[in-house]
Amino acid sequence: MNATWWLIAVPLAFSPLAYLAGHVQRCAAQIVTLAGLALVGLFLAAAAQEVAVLGSAEYAFGAIALRVDGVSLLLAGIIVALAALTTLFSGALVQNEAGEEKYYALTLALVGTILALVCARDLFNLWVWFEGMAIASCLLVVFARERDTALEAAVKYLLQSAVGSALALLGMALVLAQVGTLSLDMIRQNASSSPTLWAAGALFVVGFGVKAALVPLHTWLPDAYTQSPSPVAALLAGVVTEVGLIALLRALAALSGVSNIWGGLLLAFAALNMLSGTLLALRQRDVKRMLAYSSISHIGYMLLGLGIGLSSGALAGTQAGLFHLFNHALMKGLAFLALGALFYGLRAADGDALTLGDVKGAAQRYPLTTLTLLVALLGLGGIPPLAGFMSKWQIFAAGVATGDGLILALLVLALLNVMLSMLYYLRLATALYDAQPGERAAAGRAIPLALRVPLWILALAVLVIGVFPDMARGLTQAAALALW
């Protein structure tokens, strides 16, 4: 029983604990959750030490092997940090809501399943934990279960995820039939090029792609993001969607020797995602939905970097894509949390469609909170010296270095998207900074400190990473090396 084991066991064990504690004393659930996450953080640090020395940290549980490598570390770091911040943030938000303790229990369950997923070394575990993540996140989306719209969003999310899972499962069956093993490493060594495995790869792409919101599999995303509580939206946008992408990449990496088409496939989806996400967000006046659509295009930027890495074998591309994943988690997490704080201030329920007009002049009433949202928006738009600029820049640099005409064309497309995306980020920013506070902003209530502190931490991180991008390099480099 080493750090790896504890890493997964602790959140899963603390999950029912938080539930029980919440029944005893309402506020205890949050404290238990934070304690659990702190403990996980400790074990994560221990695992990181081990990885730094040995290259990876493994734990075998019978036939099941779990391994912490660079990719796991990157994702685990993101989920633990972001979950801690959203838990802190949630205190004031879900206080006195029915099922408060379930909310915290589910958060821990989500963390546990994600940690297990990113450590999985075989397709079956990958799938099992993937399903676990889907269930936990789906229940979080429908936290306001009495609201029809939330139920509708959850149903769509669940059904589409289920279809995706079924397809992924089918892919695994094909792989098992063809190669005779589910271990990712064994598949990688033994798989040879055959139409069955090409089909299996395609099934992985589509199956896991649903969760990763590849266009046109993304249709669940805007509803799920907008209907869930803001901290859950932050987790969905910052981690869950990306973990779907990582699951896809893990499965595909095992089949990397089977065909050369995967890189091109990723690039094609990159183009689709960038363009569709931007176009969908462009006319959106519901601010939360707008941010949800922007996630689709950001998945596109990540795919661009990863696709460059896979198709040209350039480590820099993969690393840049993972760096953008990391930054997107920070920035989108910040954006949704800041929006959640504003929702709280403006007395809006999570399902409410807050439009640009509703948040007009919010900066007059909430200068600091709005500033953090501005940092997130500008970071997402790729304005230096914020984190989003650095990772986009690295993606571009990696792409240009390949000298490939098709990739260069994609970069031009990406550039156009960055430009167009500024249009809606800035539209929100100008609305927020309107000199005349709107009715809702004028009538807003004070935002408690617990809602604001996580925003400052994330905004600071976005700025610091932007100025010192090398701080994240160790993490992304190890992840890029471990991925393919």
Stretch that binds other proteins, among 8-16, 45-53, 259-267, 474-482 (CB under 8 A): 259-267
The partner residues of 120 in beta bridges, in order of sequence, read: 66
Residue closer to other proteins by CB (options 419, 471) is 419
Q: To the nearest whole angstrom, how small is the minimum distance from the Cβ of residue 141 to other proteins?
A: 15
Residue closer to other proteins by CB (options 164, 379) is 164
Residue closer to other proteins by CB (options 10, 203) is 203
DSSP one-letter string for 428-453: HHHHHT-SS--HHHHTPPPPPHHHHH
Residue 239: DSSP 8-state: I
SS3 at position 286: strand
Instruction: State yes or no: residue 214 binds other proteins (CB under 8 A).
Output: yes
Q: To the nearest whole angstrom, how small is the minimum distance from the Cβ of residue 293 to other proteins?
A: 9
Out of 135, 176, 199, 315, point to the residue binding other proteins (CB under 8 A).
199
Q: To the nearest whole angstrom, how small is the minimum distance from the Cβ of residue 213 to other proteins?
A: 11
Residues 6+ apart with CB under 8 A from 49: none
Size of the site for other proteins (CB under 8 A): 40
Out of 283, 403, 449, 470, point to the residue binding other proteins (CB under 8 A).
283
Instruction: State yes or no: residue 265 binds other proteins (CB under 8 A).
Output: yes
Residue closer to other proteins by CB (options 227, 319) is 227
Out of 203, 254, 329, 374, point to the residue binding other proteins (CB under 8 A).
203
Give the x-and-dash track for 130-159 against other proteins (CB under 8 A). Answer: -------------------------xx--x
Q: To the nearest whole angstrom, how small is the minimum distance from the Cβ of residue 418 to other proteins?
A: 14
Residue closer to other proteins by CB (options 207, 321) is 207
Instruction: State yes or no: residue 201 binds other proteins (CB under 8 A).
Output: yes
Residues 6+ apart with CB under 8 A from 389: 379, 382, 383, 466
Instruction: State yes or no: residue 253 binds other proteins (CB under 8 A).
Output: no
Length of the chain: 484
State the DSSP H helix or E strand holding residue 295, giving kind and residue range, or none if neither: helix 287-312
Two tokens, residue 163: 């279809």
The partner residues of 66 in beta bridges, in order of sequence, read: 59, 120
Residue closer to other proteins by CB (options 88, 215) is 215
Out of 25, 95, 189, 219, point to the residue binding other proteins (CB under 8 A).
219
- Confirm if 356 and 342 have CB atoms less than 8 A apart: no
Backbone φ, ψ for residue 66 (5° rounding): -120, 140
- Compute the distance between CA of residue 210 and CA of residue 221 in angstroms, rounded to an integer: 9
Residue closer to other proteins by CB (options 92, 282) is 282
Determine the residue type at 386. Answer: L
Q: To the nearest whole angstrom, how small is the minimum distance from the Cβ of residue 271 to other proteins?
A: 13
- Confirm if 260 and 248 have CB atoms less than 8 A apart: no
| Burial grade of 54 (CB within 10 A; 0-12, 13-18, 19 or more) | exposed
Out of 25, 95, 260, 430, point to the residue binding other proteins (CB under 8 A).
260
Instruction: State yes or no: residue 206 binds other proteins (CB under 8 A).
Output: yes
Locate all alpha helices (DSSP H) within 236-386, ordered by sequence: 241-254, 261-282, 287-312, 315-345, 362-365, 367-381
The partner residues of 61 in beta bridges, in order of sequence, read: 64
Diameter of the chain by CA atoms? 67
| Interface positions with other proteins (CB under 8 A) | 155-156, 159-160, 163-164, 167, 193, 195, 198-199, 201-203, 205-206, 209-210, 214, 216-220, 222-223, 258-261, 264-265, 268, 276, 279-280, 282-284, 420
